[in-house]
Amino acid sequence: MECYETQMRTDPMALMSPPTMKTNPPNLLSEAAAPRDLVSIHDLSPAEILALFNLTSMLKQRPADFRGVLAGKQMVMFFEKPSLRTRLTFEAGMDSLGGSTFFVDQTASRLNARESLYDIAHNLERWIDLIVLRTFSHSVVEEMATYAGVPVINALSELEHPCQALADFFTLQEHFGDLSKIHFAYVGDGNNMAHSLLLAGAAVGAKVSIATPERYGLNPVIVTMAKAIADETKASLRILIDPRKAVAGADAVYTDAWASMGHEHEAEERAAIFAPFQVNATLMQLAKPHALFMHCLPAHRGCEVTDQVIDSLNSVVFDQAENRLHIQKAILVWLLGGGVGRFSARSSHAHA
């Protein structure tokens, strides 16, 4: 394993602390055993992720069976960053389940600019059933989850993007079945997306290879967390600096923007550093012939990926985008509608 040190991007003690447990909401089945919040992939056990995928399959195949399951439930979304997929899939998902959504645009100012998160949380918990946050600082999500007496979902922070990673591995399950048998490769920036993918890959028992430039590596605390999960699931994790080694023999190749939101001013500098990490036809040839190409979007065509790759028959970027809707509906049902174990598959319609 090739390892290297990278600057800490958050308080390691905060990351290593267990997720905050709260009083279960009404009708949440005991077998769900779920934390009340989804702040990190680490908030879900490996078994819970697979259960969530089963529920997602049911929601995707039989959406009519779930209409009205969250009737009367209300969700508020505070977004400090722009969004297409995250906002629309949460709003459409909540609406299709019978609930309602309120959107608060925080792109002009940070959520805690006018008053403390403590005060905001205690206001929201008296009006709303669930809070969704898309923030610059991961600590904002953690603090809101600590203070609010209702579930909080991380819809993206600078440290993690758990909803996207769950949709991605659900997409892989649709294509390959047993996730413990796949080799998943990520090349590019060691950003929030890479963190959540590493944790999710470890949780499902996959072989995961991640390659980043030396100065843009993964948060070492996230790596430590992933290794602890991998010890339980027998996943194989490789942290590399050579994209060719990461992609060799992979079943799926994933990349993300070289300069994430908040780092746009570094785009020119990063373009030169990340050039060897571009996913192009030459790099994809090192993967297995059936290898899927994956990207969380928006993609910067000609930078981290070429048109030839993202528009190829092996590209599943729009499958991933579609599955954001289905996985987030499952998360909403998990947190508000009775847990992942409430709905059983029908024998005539059950997902194989």
Write out the two tokens for 237: 């994790």
Sheet holding 130-134, edge to edge: 100-105, 74-79, 130-134, 152-154
What count of residues does the chain have? 352
Strand partners, 153: 38, 132
Helices (H) then strands (E): counts for the chain? 13, 9
The answer to whether residues 266 and 282 touch, using CB atoms and an 8 Å cutoff, is no
Catalytic residues: 134, 161, 164, 256, 296, 324
The interaxial angle of helices 46-61 and 317-336, nearest 10 deg, is: 110
DSSP 301: B
Among 135, 64, 138, CA closest to 104: 135
DSSP code string of 232-291: HHT-EEEEES-HHHHHTT-SEEEE--SS-TT-GGGHHHHHHHHGGG-B-HHHHTTS-TTP
Residue in the structure block whose two tokens are 């005991």: 30
Cα separation, 314 vs 283, whole angstroms: 14
Q: What is the DSSP string of 79-105?
A: ESS--SHHHHHHHHHHHHTT-EEEEEE
Q: What is the β-pairing status of strands 74-79 and 130-134?
A: parallel
Q: Rounded distance, CA 51 to CA 16, Å?
A: 24
Structural tokens at position 300: 């910067």
324: three-class secondary structure by DSSP: helix
Those residues with Cβ within 8 angstroms of residue 311's Cβ, 6 or more apart along the chain or in another chain: none
